[in-house]
């Protein structure tokens, strides 16, 4: 099913603009898209910190529980993926992945 024109047109324009701005610059493109993708998470964390700073603990308690559960779920998934015996990637990459998972779980 095709998307409505009112949704498809801005999408196509933005994709074309990104392609034009970051032509032959894949790392800059990746950095830009990664930054844009992190903005909602940054806003969410900022809101939690604001609630804590203003002392609105009761209002943010449920949000904190949900955030902790979401974060735990992502970490568990990443660790399972890194430790998967069915992963068919090169051995050095698998070793690097397992080291990153170990370092991430120690630092968290």
Euclidean distance between CA atoms 79 and 49, whole angstroms: 27
If asked whether residues 87 and 51 sit together in one domain, one would say no
Euclidean distance between CA atoms 13 and 68, whole angstroms: 37
If asked whether residues 11 and 47 sit together in one domain, one would say yes
Domain boundary among 55, 77, 99: 55
If asked whether residues 7 and 26 sit together in one domain, one would say yes
Number of domains in the chain: 2
Euclidean distance between CA atoms 47 and 49, whole angstroms: 5
Per-residue pLDDT, 15: 93
If asked whether residues 9 and 37 sit together in one domain, one would say yes
Q: Is this model's pTM higher than 0.75 or not?
A: no
Per-residue pLDDT, 108: 46
Cα 2 off chain centre by: 27
Range of the domain at 91: 58-108
Euclidean distance between CA atoms 103 and 106, whole angstroms: 5
Series of mean pLDDT values for 10-residue runs along the chain (108 residues): 89 94 93 89 83 73 74 69 56 55 49
CB 52 within 8 A of CB 60: yes
């Amino acid at each position: 099913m095709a998307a409505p024109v009112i949704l498809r047109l801005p999408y196509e324009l933005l994709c074309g603009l990104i392609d034009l701005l970051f032509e032959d610059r894949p790392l800059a493109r990746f950095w830009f898209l990664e930054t844009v993708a992190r903005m909602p998470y940054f806003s969410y964390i900022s809101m939690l910190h604001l609630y804590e700073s203003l002392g609105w603990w009761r209002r943010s308690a449920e949000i904190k529980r949900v955030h902790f559960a979401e974060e735990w779920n992502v970490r568990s998934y990443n660790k399972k993926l890194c430790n998967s015996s069915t992963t068919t990637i090169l051995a050095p990459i698998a070793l690097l992945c397992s080291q990153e998972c170990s370092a991430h779980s120690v630092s968290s």
